[in-house]
Chain A
Amino acid sequence: MPEEFNLETYNADPLTEDVSDAATEAAPKTYAPLDAAAESQADLSAEMKALGDAYAQALRNGAPAEIQPRLDYAPYRSSVLRHPTKDLHHADPETIELHSPAFGHMDVHALEADLTIQHGGEPLGERIVVSGRVLDGDGRPVAGQLVEIWQANSAGRYIHKRDQHPAPLDPNFTGVGRCITGADGSYSFTTIKPGAYPWKNHLNAWRPAHIHFSLFGQEFTQRIVTQMYFPGDQLFPLDPIYQSIVDRDARDRLVATYNHEQTQPEWALAYNWDIVLTGSKRTWTENEALGAEGDDHE
């Protein structure tokens, strides 16, 4: 279980350094004054549009679709010094990379999948259930594997000391969950819909509401961390992190679907989101192909 939230733990966070694009000056209590030095959304939108247009032109000229974010995507300013400039080097995965760490129910308690029951009271916000399946690139369920999530609260605030924007913390919401996928690759989290989150990439920069997802496959090469978004968010075209995936179809793969059939009356809205990892590079044993349970490997 994530630790019970208290201010002492919160302030004991080891990550205390200054962050250039999430400056740690005293928390403003009101709307920050306009900063003439900061770039405007219009500047950033123009940059993103130019990159998007160039990609569309390349597609028309026969370039393959780009299904992952660009590592080099300058509109996300923090990526400028943090992307490799050399091409990723092709490697054939070897023994260890063709297997994955094993997680099981000794690692994760079933209650960790409910982010609304981690404290003494009910968190504020719109209760939601996010569920789906984790599949590999061959369409096989990823069974018995670890899914980790984290998110802002309904006001768009993270329990993290570097998040200093003037939205309230919720003493009944930490925003961290885990689960182990079922034999069919299924996962399900009960949580609160996160709010949009302001950041300082540029002036008036807001992240679309999102939930961070961390996923393991059956091979280490399938490991990903990503973000799930909610349908119809007006911030999509404005957000450099979402737009770093220049391909529209690829971006859409990060957006959950609202499911009214699964929505529970007087209780919670339901969203579905399936996650596809890369294809397997290993020859599977019969047991693996049938779906391992995750526990008791030995």
Chain B
Amino acid sequence: MSNPTKLIPTPGQTVGPFYGYALPYAKDRELLAPGSPGSIRLQGTVYDGAGHPIPDAILEIWQADADGKVPNRTGSLVRDGYTFTGFGRSAVGNTGVFTFTTVNPGPTEEGAAPFIAVAVFARGLMNRLFTRIYLPEDEAALAADPLLRSLDPERRRTLIARRDADGGLTWDIRLQGEGETVFLDFEGAGPEGASK
């Protein structure tokens, strides 16, 4: 588009404490049916700066399918049980644990490190946070990944999931303090970057 009008984005606000009757929906965390071929469990715990689990956070994931294809199918809210839409939402439970049933995303480009995009919302969190969950296996791809390369090893670890014995993935979020998860700013060093 030539000469687009630049508008200033509307600010975000906290999701608050009462999303529980509004945002969750049936099968929200089941990108495919549990137990179906190729399905894995993705789970983790959300912690605050004191190391306590946060019981009122809600996560969204958005990912490519197993072949690395970016889905473009409706039906995330009313799942038909067959269509992989790539989107899921999971409120954490009392112990701060979230769970998704999904597939390992494939690389979206030859040699790219596969990851799952994440948005995090919580009571007490002023604005949503973005981050990524990388699959742990392809070490060459991880080593070449532009984001991971820009992080020191200690912080880089926070974005890479652990592979569970049952084939699932475990990945925790620490909003603050030791082992603080790397959260992302896609807007660069503009005003949007000044949101800290």
Known A-B contacts A212-B22, A226-B12, A277-B9; A140 and B108 likewise in contact (beta carbons under 8 Å): no
Q: Are B72 and A221 in contact (CB under 8 A)?
A: no
- The smallest beta-carbon distance between A48 and chain B, in angstroms, is 14
CB < 8 Å A-B pair total: 311
- The smallest beta-carbon distance between B102 and chain A, in angstroms, is 13
Q: Are A79 and B78 in contact (CB under 8 A)?
A: no
Q: Are B18 and A162 in contact (CB under 8 A)?
A: yes
Contacts of B52 on A, CB cut-off 8 Å?
81
- For residue B167, CB closer than 8 A to chain A, the reply is no
Contacts of A295 on B, CB cut-off 8 Å?
74
Q: Are A251 and B11 in contact (CB under 8 A)?
A: yes
Q: Are B55 and A17 in contact (CB under 8 A)?
A: yes
Q: How large is the interface on B (under 10, 10 to 19, 20 to 34, 35 or more residues)?
A: 35 or more
- The smallest beta-carbon distance between A61 and chain B, in angstroms, is 14
- For residue B50, CB closer than 8 A to chain A, the reply is yes
Q: Are A137 and B9 in contact (CB under 8 A)?
A: yes
Q: Can you offer 21 A-B residue contacts whose CB atoms are under 8 A?
A: A65-B191, A69-B14, A69-B126, A69-B195, A71-B126, A76-B14, A78-B124, A79-B14, A82-B125, A83-B126, A86-B180, A89-B155, A94-B112, A95-B108, A101-B76, A102-B76, A107-B76, A107-B78, A159-B21, A175-B22, A277-B9
B residues sitting closer than 8 Å to A (CB atoms) are 1, 4-23, 48-50, 52, 54-56, 60, 62-64, 70-78, 85-87, 91, 93-94, 105, 108-109, 112, 115-117, 119, 121-130, 132, 146-147, 150-151, 155, 175-177, 180-196
- For residue A37, CB closer than 8 A to chain B, the reply is no
Interface of B is mostly: loop
Q: Are B126 and A225 in contact (CB under 8 A)?
A: no
Q: Are B74 and A104 in contact (CB under 8 A)?
A: yes
Q: Are B14 and A64 in contact (CB under 8 A)?
A: no
Q: Are B185 and A90 in contact (CB under 8 A)?
A: yes
Task: Tell me the bound Cα distance from A298 to B82 in angstroms.
Answer: 15
A residues sitting closer than 8 Å to B (CB atoms) are 2, 13-17, 19, 22, 63-73, 76, 78-97, 99-108, 135-140, 146, 148-150, 158-160, 162-163, 174-176, 178, 212, 214, 220-221, 223-227, 241-242, 244-245, 250-251, 253-254, 275-279, 281, 284, 289, 294-295, 297-298
CB-based nearest A residue for B177 = A85
